[in-house]
Structure 1
């Protein structure tokens, strides 16, 4: 499954298109009927970053509308929320969301947190029209998809930090009023670190975890904070090299 999911992200235009393709691949691979990527900030749903269909987007928007739902709980707990039957008499967590989802024909929903470093920035929501759990392989695959969903958000950071022209979400792409996904991430603490991590992913051709490790390692080696190193990277004063253990080149302002 990892190969197919990775191909969906890598083979698409960075940002919202990649998130949409990841959702479509999730539907195909996990035996679900819909998928969406939610952006969450300060405990509230702020928008749908990607989806497999308009129906999935609408289901995700209900969580923003009602201020409750599995994706919010997944972000709050940093753990997967797995609901096998929304119509069960024992399922009482989200009355407004559950009623709206059931009206749409959804019986089970699964939300997996999306992490960037130690910060949970959203959730991958999977919807199914029939009750029942995800299989072991499907759940493992969904966890991989949630990891890859973080890359679609980091792509926006990397593109913005590199002064390129990212595929910017419009009002049809991110349903959060006049804020987009990058704007939400930009409000978070240590945003310079996340921006620099996004740049390093592209520059060093590494994954987000390794990029963050490289940034932190350089900060320790040079007795700086991670933020100081990140700012230097963003301002093009510092460049970490791919194949150098120390890995720095300094350029003048």
Structure 2
């Protein structure tokens, strides 16, 4: 069975986020990479992780949100693949914060393929590799096919939630979408706006900076802010 057929088979009858997870796991099995994630990107921001090959892949994906830079954001903005074969040679000029962060996680190669949904670029398939080196021809083609397949669970998830919400304002149809997006970060940012009397962009920057300084994800810091376990002070 070809890589392309194996990727299609891996998704099978799964729907939504489960299909996205299966697709990422198949990418690790078939494309000679160590981790894979499907990022959601809205308005130039990595807003959530639709699917991942495991917990480490989710951490690597969220770092793009925490730091505000990385391959998925660049791929969506450029509407093209981003292929970095060795971050150790590229870290300083391309992604000053993200590059060193990946190296601390023992990741040398990163590859992002944009995901096109109904004519809009709404995310990217991110592939992470511990060893430097390019994706060879067969694996690169497989990555492009996987990015095309990623449209299906994303479209399924968004279409289902949008349809249900439009027909019933009291529905819980947004639950799964809110689970995979960084809803806590938005809520915590709003709390900081009120507490610190600053603009939303500045509040988000404060939250991200605190997360980076503490070596934590933005989502975990947001949860602590919402639970009032930490409070960010005025500078």
Asked whether the equivalents of residues 161 and 177 of structure 2 are also in contact (C-alpha less than 8 Å), the reply is: no
- Aligned 8 A contact 1:111 1:123 in 2: yes
Equivalent residues in 2 for 1:53-132, closer than 5 Å? 53-88=54-89, 92-132=93-133
In the aligned structure 1, how far is the partner of 2:90 from the partner of 2:177? 39
Q: Which residue of 2 aligns with 1:154?
A: 155
1:176 aligns with 2:182: yes
- CA displacement at 1:134 relative to structure 2: 0.2
Task: Work out whether residues 24 and 51 of structure 2, in 8 Å CA contact, stay in contact via their aligned partners in 1.
Answer: yes
Q: Distance in 2 between matches of 1:8 and 1:145?
A: 11
SS at structure 2 position matched to 1:36: strand
Change (3 A) 1:18 1:166: farther
Conservation of the 8 A alpha-carbon contact between 2:115 and 2:125: yes
CA contact (8 A) 1:20 1:51 kept: yes
Tell me the SS of whatever aligns to 1:31. coil
Change (3 A) 1:33 1:94: same
Q: Which of the pair has more CA radius of gyration?
A: 1
**Is the Cα–Cα contact under 8 Å of residues 17 and 50 in structure 1 kept in the other structure?**
yes
CA RMSD between the two structures: 2.3
1:10 aligns to 2:12 (yes or no)? yes
Change (3 A) 1:55 1:147: same
Give SS of 1:92's match.
Answer: helix
- Tell me if the contact between 2:37 and 2:57 (Cα under 8 Å) persists in the aligned partners: yes
Q: Which residue of 1 aligns with 2:195?
A: none
Measured in 2, the distance between the counterparts of 1:106 and 1:161 equals 36
| The structure with more helix, counted as a fraction of residues | 2
Consecutive unaligned residues of structure 2, counting only runs of 5 or more, are 165-170, 187-235
Greater Cα offset, 150-159 or 68-77: 150-159
- Structure 1 residue 165: Cα displacement: 8.5
CA deviation profile, 1:82-109 (whole Å, cap 9, x unmatched): 0000001576211111111100000000
Q: TM-score, normalised by structure 1?
A: 0.65
Cα deviation, 1:174-215, whole Å, max 9, x if unaligned, reads: 2512499xxxxxxxxxxxxxxxxxxxxxxxxxxxxxxxxxxx
Shift of 1:3: 1.5
Please state how far the C-alpha of 1:10 moved relative to its aligned partner.
Answer: 2.5
In the alignment of these two chains, the number of paired residues is: 178
Q: CA deviation at 1:8?
A: 1.9
- What is the TM-score with the length of structure 2 in the denominator? 0.70
Contact 1:59 / 1:101 at 8 angstroms: preserved in 2?
yes
- CA 1:155–1:83: 2 relative to 1, 3 Å: same
Distance 1:161 1:64 in 2: 24
Contact 2:110 2:128 in 1 (8 A): yes
Cα distance, 1:69 vs structure 2: 0.3
Find the residue that maps to 1:79 and give its secondary structure: coil
Q: Which runs of 5+ in 1 are unaligned?
A: 181-253
Counterparts of 1:162 and 1:120, CA distance in 2: 20
